[in-house]
Amino acid sequence: LQALCRYQHIWNIDLRFRPAFLGGIMQQTGNKPPAMLPKRGEYMLKDMKRMAKYYQVPLQISGDDFQRIMRTNSLNAMRFITAIDMTESQYLEPVSREFWMRFWSQHEDISQPESILAVAQKAGLSSELSQKVLEMISSPKVKNQLRETTDEAVKYGAFGMPAVVAHYNGEPHLFFGSDRLELLGSVIGEKWLGPAPS
* 93 within some domain: yes
Burial 1-12 (b: 16+ CB within 10 A, else e): eebbebbeeebe
Q: How many domains does the chain have?
A: 1
**CATH number where 105 lies:** 3.40.30.10
What φ, ψ does residue 167 adopt, rounded to 5°? -95, 110
List the domain range (segments joined by +) for residue 144. 1-188
Domain annotation covers residue 61: yes
Evaluate whether residue 37 is within a structural domain.
yes
Question: Is 194 part of a structural domain of the chain?
Answer: no
Does some domain include residue 193?
Answer: no
Q: Is residue 195 part of a domain?
A: no
pLDDT by 10s per residue, the chain, length 198: 889 999 999 998 999 999 999 999 999 999 998 888 989 988 998 999 999 999 999 999 887 888 888 889 999 999 999 999 999 999 999 999 999 999 999 999 999 999 999 999 999 999 999 999 999 999 999 999 999 999 999 999 999 999 999 999 999 999 999 899 999 999 999 999 999 997
In a domain, 198, yes or no: no
pTM: 0.93
User: Which 8-state DSSP code applies to residue 60?
Assistant: -
Residue 196 within a domain: no
Task: Tell me the C-alpha distance between 137 and 78, whole Å.
Answer: 9
